[in-house]
Structure 1
């Protein structure tokens, strides 16, 4: 989590979307991916966020042929909460011939297996962040939890730069302590030993924190807490 906390600090200092795109690309490469795309789902004419480093040929074709209207990755992301690999698409959505052709064309251009993180925020467009490997290379499975956190951090940083504001949930002191220790990789039992709480009580604090942020996973909770400023680069400072 330390590298993600460092990314959060740098992203909060970046001055524009171009700088943010560079930071995300750097982090994505460190995790084992060749490309990324952070996008709000909607019509490009509406000013939807589309931050990416996809091959130019693919980005141009995607926009010119309005592929966002039948993109199976976006369809699946609109129905999901947790991240998913593109190999799962046939199980998540019914793929039409044009969608299968689209994915094949993307692979021919240089986009292989991908991992997409759905991004849902109250009162905002559905969005998603995808991380993609070169054709023929498998997903770096060990890096997927970090990629999921990166997606949430990048999404929050992008909307800060765009001037979008929304009410941020606040955690209680105990919830903040538990989340800070989760960011250090501690289990509920270990957190209980450190804070003098039962494992069950720690679970309740973390469940309440997840509800406040509207997320389902521990990785998402840590990312959301970092974006909201509830924990910082040094989790020990919150204990």
Structure 2
């Protein structure tokens, strides 16, 4: 069976999955045919935003994911940091040296090999829920490289997976609309104004500003105001 057929059948099956576990298992099985054994589907943390609430599908080895979260490796991992601005898919080993060659990033990469994560491939993607989303695949091969057709197939499967997981887990994001006041508050927050400063500008109480920001974070499903700003700008809910 060719990779084109595998991809077409995966896309068709996505329409029938009714759980994220089924979707994850299907993607893992299909991706294994080109050499990947683990993967994660997640939003990309903005600033100091926590990683766990952003993870949509977790196919990482248990011990590695726990370590990655507990030691806040997302803050120093060159792959994760590069994913914040990357537009096109990339291999882990192709992350620019300014990010991958730091002592902290090398430590993360070296520890990942203890869990069989030797090389990988990342597909960044637009997300209705996150300001930036990705699918990161990992292989036990030291220098896995995909053919052009395999890359195209993996890219397509990744984008389809993100759409499907959003439909399964977050159908409500299609209906997200900020109130005019929330848009005002978040616009000023995007300009780095404090809650006290926003209160003075809008002539409302600081407590009201903080309540609006709390509601906005809850609406977007993010843990920080910075994350909310990033999502809102990405979806054009507020002007950049």
Q: Normalising by structure 1, report the TM-score.
A: 0.63
4+ runs of 1 displaced by more than 6 Å?
none
Report what 1:14 is aligned to. Answer: 17
Name the CA distance, whole Å, in 2 between partners of 1:115 and 1:81: 13
Name the CA distance, whole Å, in 2 between partners of 1:83 and 1:45: 21
Report what 1:54 is aligned to. Answer: 60
Name the CA distance, whole Å, in 1 between partners of 2:81 and 2:15: 30
- Name the Cα RMSD after superposition: 2.3
Name the CA distance, whole Å, in 1 between partners of 2:151 and 2:89: 8
Q: Deviations over 1:60-105 (max 9, x none)?
A: 1012212222222121122111111111113473642111110111
Computing the radius of gyration from Cα coordinates, the structure with the larger value is 2
SS in 1 for 2:27: helix
Q: Does 1:159 align with 2:166?
A: yes
SS in 2 for 1:14: coil
Q: Does 1:145 align with 2:152?
A: yes
The worse-fitting range, judged by mean Cα deviation, of 40-49 and 94-103 is 40-49
Q: List alignment gaps of at least 5 residues for structure 2.
A: 176-240
The worse-fitting range, judged by mean Cα deviation, of 150-159 and 90-99 is 90-99
The count of corresponding residues between Structure 1 and Structure 2 is 167
**Aligned residues of 2:129 and 2:166 also touching (Cα < 8 A):** no
Report what 1:124 is aligned to. Answer: 130
Name the CA distance, whole Å, in 2 between partners of 1:137 and 1:84: 13
Name the CA distance, whole Å, in 2 between partners of 1:98 and 1:50: 26
